Structure formats: C-alpha cells, structure tokens
Amino acid sequence: MKKIGFIGLGIMGKPMAMNLIKAGYSLTVFDIRPEPVKEVVAAGAKEGRCSEDVAAKSEVIITMLPNSPDVKKAVLGEHGVLEGASKGAILIDMSSIAPLVSKEVAAEAWKKGVEMLDAPVSGGEPKAINGTLSIMVGGKKEVFEKVEEILKVMGASAVLVGDVGSGNTTKLANQIIVALNIAAMSEAMVLATKAGVDPERVYQAIRGGLAGSTVLDAKVPLALNGNFKPGFRIELHIKDLANALDTAHEIGVPVPLTSGVMEIMQALKVDGKAGDDHGGIIQFYEKLAKVEVRRPKK
C-alpha cells in the first residue's frame, strides 16, 4: 500500500483525503489552515509541517489547490514538494489550473526524477464526499497505471486523455459546458417562473427529456430552495473560465458563449456573490427579471 501525501484540504481536498483514509491508505497531510488539518488528522492522517515534509514522507503526493500560482508555490517554491520528494515519487496535481503551468511544473519535476500527472476533477463537493468524481488525467500511461487504483478511490471514473496538460485542457472544456448549462438552466427557469408556471413542475417535466442533465438535477433543486452555499464557488469558476479564454485565444479558438457567461459571473462578483455556488448564476437573471425561482413556502 503506497504512502500518500495530500496538500490542500479545502472544500474538495478534505473529503478526497478522507476517502483515501477510509480506503486504508497511510496519509500525511498539509494545509496552510490548521482547522481542516486537525479534522483529517483526527480521522487517521499524520500532519506534515510543510509541502516539503509531506513529500519526503510519501511515495505519491497529491496536490489539490485553488489556482496555478498556488501549485507553483507548493511544488516549486521554498520548502515545496520538489525539495522533499524522492526520485521515483509520483506527483498528482488534481487542481484545476492552466495547462501550460501543468507542463511547466512537470518539466521541473522530471529534472528531479519525479513523475507527474495533471488530474483535475469534476463533480463538486457532493461527489468529492461520496467518492464519485470524474477525474481527467494527463501524463504517461505507465505512471497512470501505477496510481489508477488510488484515483478510483476518489472518483467513479479516471480517464487518461493524453500527455501532461491534457487533463487540464479537458477540465477547461468541462467547465465551459457546465457554465453554459447553468446559464441555460437559469434563463429557462426564470422565463417559466415569470410566465406564471410552477418552476418545480417545469423541472420535473423536462428533466427526463433531451434538456435533462446532471447540471439540471444538481442545481435546480438548490435554486428552488434558495440555497447557494458553495459546492463550487463562482470565483473559482471565474478562474477556470479565465484559463479557458486565455487558452482559446492562444490557439485561435473563438468562444463567444464562454465570454458571455464570464461577464455574468463577473457581474455577480461585483454584486458580492463571488463566494456563492456557481448555481447562483441564476441570481443574475432573477435580478434582471425581478422574479425569484423558488419553491412556494408552505
């Protein structure tokens, strides 16, 4: 059984680490905030002093961090992963970052004899908790095969899509589809509500047809309850769409719909809702239409 290091115990990282502990893996963990570290240690993990210390005690090091600069600091910085990792160790970066940064970090890891996979996830907090995330992996096939069993503790699927960087390119595609789905759902549900039709019945009527989707089933019930507690924050989706737009522009791909949803999210950020769940995109439409898509109070 491989010794695993886990760096980054946020909304997603903490339940992912918990699932690895439940599966019997030996974990050493680190986060800049002491509270989640205490929770995971109480569940059976060991506490690392820093990223370097975690890496020194692990054969496989997993990072789950907010953005590209955080990954670079944790891996390449002072007391970072590469200062502690042994030759032959495997770094799995499960953060959602820019594909070019994944390639940059991997190149530095290879210089130290450390293999790397970029393996961002989709599914939000609920699927992180129940271990059914979708994991998109970039890297060498032989490295992926060594850790596939570990990944499948955290996800219902783990698919190797190409070389390092491919995982995050796939995640950008995923995030475009999710954002546009939430926006479409929001437009439709606000339209139905403003027209005087019960939004819950509209949802039940359309969810089994072609308009049905995982997004619809995950987000409409929350909107009906006015629950925008973050499973995946708007500010993090803004970060992902910024990476998507940058990548698209670099390679000459027009993404007008993505640009439009980005501006909706930016408007919500200005309105003080950056910390809301991305399902809270519906609030943008509700404000314009002067109607709320809610379940009637009994």
- 212, 180 in Cβ contact below 8 A? no
The CA distance from 154 to 285, in Å, is 35
Helices (H), the chain: 13-22, 34-42, 51-56, 68-76, 81-84, 99-111, 124-130, 141-154, 166-194, 199-206, 214-224, 234-251, 256-270, 282-289
Q: What are phi and psi of 278, to 5 degrees?
A: -65, -15
User: Helix (H, G, I), strand (E, B), or coil: what is residue 116?
Assistant: strand
Q: Which two tokens stand for residue 4?
A: 């695993």
- Nearest one of 165, 167, 116, 157 to 137, comparing CA atoms: 167
- The one-character DSSP state at 63 is E
Cα angle value 74/77/78 (rounded, 5°): 110
Q: Which two tokens stand for residue 133?
A: 């995330």
**What's the gap between Cα 192 and its chain centre?**
31
Annotated catalytic residue within 14, 57, 127, 171: 171
Q: Catalytic: 57?
A: no
Q: Max CA-CA distance within the chain? A: 64
- Nearest one of 211, 218, 221 to 295, comparing CA atoms: 221
- Nearest one of 135, 184, 106 to 16, comparing CA atoms: 135
Which residues are tagged catalytic? 171
